Amino acid sequence: ALEKSIDKELIISSMETGIAKAAKSKFGQENEIKVSINRDNGDIELFRKLVISENPENANTEIKLEDAISLNENNKDKSIGDEVLQPLPSFDFGRIAAQTAKQVISFNVREAERERQFNDFIDKKDTILSGIVKRLEFGSVIVDLGRTEAIIQKNELIPRENIKAGDRVKAYCYDVRREPRGQQIFLSRAHPKFMEKLFVQEVPEIYDGLIEIKSSSRDPGSRAKICVKAVDTSLDPVGACVGMRGSRVQAVVNELQGEKIDIVNWSEDAAILVSNALSPAEVQRVNVDAERKKLDVILTEENLSKAIGRRGQNVRLATKLLNYEINIMTDAEDSERRQLEFKEKTDNFVKNLELDETLGQLLVAEGFSTIDDIKDSLPENLTKIEGIEE
């Protein structure tokens, strides 16, 4: 029990259960056997549970009240239907009975150990764990954590990293599950949270709650973005994460196999935030549709490729970071889009309200987008528009 860190009481209870099962093979399976082991001296007592009955039909399960009282004076307060305990003689375990008891005890101890390990590691969820690579199985990595093993599945590894048996690895614990053969611990080196937890370890201001990580996104092994906010406004969150001569961020980069990390200063203003997230591209302006979580980002032709990134990587990571749909376009494309939208809205008013084109254009210019907008508007707002009579 001490070796496996299992409660002594659970071991003794398992022994009582195992001995009770073995005793049934001696006294008969129909008997309900109770075993009591003295916690101080180890003495074992066996009892048969009997139900008090007026007319007992089975001596192995029933007993008369007067016979129950003769067993123990304390039974005089019992009544019909109550249970009493009849002492049984001790017996020598035969080979089969001993094997039965051993199986029950071993099973209960294994289950207790699994439960203890599960409880130990369920608290480790959402943390970084460190262990030694035990073996590789079909591309996945089995990690020895000391008392148990964990798995880093192939898709949770950083692409192209070379891990071999005997290496010490760090990984993020994203799940702990109960399985028929014990708990299963799932680790990841590709999860965005792995990068976040590494920054917590490397940046004291994050650990102390002075800087908050708002979100992160990763293209594992290639590039990542992490958005940080200073709770203490006197701090520079980006500078704190970079560290002196880049020492803090470099420690994270090294653990992530050279992954380039953009540290983004968080802002309540979505336009400022997306401009920060798309750096080094210089943004001209941003049209924000907060309701549909959509951002139209306008920039010059020379900044277009920087904003989009190689194979769309930069804008894809920014999209995940902000949880907004981001549309990248040049000034000319934005102008063309606006003209097309203006024409579509005008045509809608001309067709459905039987207006001339000039009046339809006036409505759009005044900010009306749909017929419902006009219906919901106050009459005085419409009469202010030149060309609309009261």
Question: Do 56 and 68 meet the contact criterion of CB atoms below 8 Å apart?
Answer: no
pTM for this entry: 0.67
Helix (H) or strand (E) holding 20: helix 8-27
Close Cβ partners of 190 (under 8 Å, ≥ 6 residues apart): 155, 156, 157, 158, 218, 220
Residue in 182, 47, 61 with CA at minimum distance from that of residue 112: 182
Predicted pLDDT at 390: 47
- Site of tokens 């008392």: 147
Residue 175 CA, distance from chain mean position: 6
- Beta strands 325-330 and 168-179 are unpaired
Higher pLDDT, 249 or 119: 249
Note the pLDDT of residue 254.
96
DSSP E strands, the chain? 33-37, 44-52, 62-63, 83-88, 128-137, 140-144, 149-152, 168-179, 182-188, 211-219, 223-230, 260-265, 285-289, 294-299, 325-330
- Residue 341 has what pLDDT? 74
Q: Residue 215's beta-bridge partner residues? A: 227
Transcribe 335-363 into DSSP letters: HHHHHHHHHHHHHHHHHHH---HHHHHHH
Backbone angles phi, psi at 125, to 5 degrees: -60, 140
Quick one: pLDDT at residue 378?
A: 47
pLDDT band at residue 357 under the 50/70/90 scheme: confident
**In this structure, are strands 223-230 and 260-265 parallel, antiparallel, or unpaired?**
parallel
C-alpha to C-alpha distance for 274 and 265, rounded to whole angstroms = 10
Query: Could you tell me the fold of the domain covering 205-263?
Result: GMP Synthetase; Chain A, domain 3 (3.30.300)
- pLDDT value of position 384: 56
- pLDDT tens-digit series, residues 299-347: 988 888 899 999 999 999 999 999 999 999 887 776 667 777 777 777 7
Identify whether the C-beta of residue 267 lies closer than 8 Å to the C-beta of residue 230: no
Q: Where are the domains of the chain?
A: 8-119, 124-188, 205-263, 333-383
CA distance 154 to 331: 43
- In CATH, the number for domain 124-188 is 2.40.50.140
Contact 306, 342 (CB under 8 A): no
pLDDT given for residue 388 in this prediction: 55
Matching CATH topology for 8-119 and 124-188? no
Q: Which residues pair with 35 in a beta bridge?
A: 46
Q: Rounded to whole angstroms, how far apart are CA atoms 89 and 8? A: 26
| Fold topology of 8-119 | N Utilization Substance Protein A; Chain:P; domain 4 (3.30.1480)
Q: What pLDDT, in 10s, does the model give residues 46-72? A: 888 888 888 888 888 888 888 888 888
Across 340-358, average pLDDT: 74
* Residues of the chain above pLDDT 70, percent: 87
Inform me whether the pLDDT recorded for 269 exceeds 70: yes
pLDDT tens digits along 151-209: 999 999 999 999 999 999 999 999 998 876 666 899 999 999 999 999 999 999 999 99
SS3 of the chain: helix, strand, coil, percent, to 5: 45, 25, 30
What are 380-390's pLDDT values in tens digits? 555 555 555 54
Q: Give the CA dihedral 177, 178, 182, 184, nearest 10 degrees.
A: -10
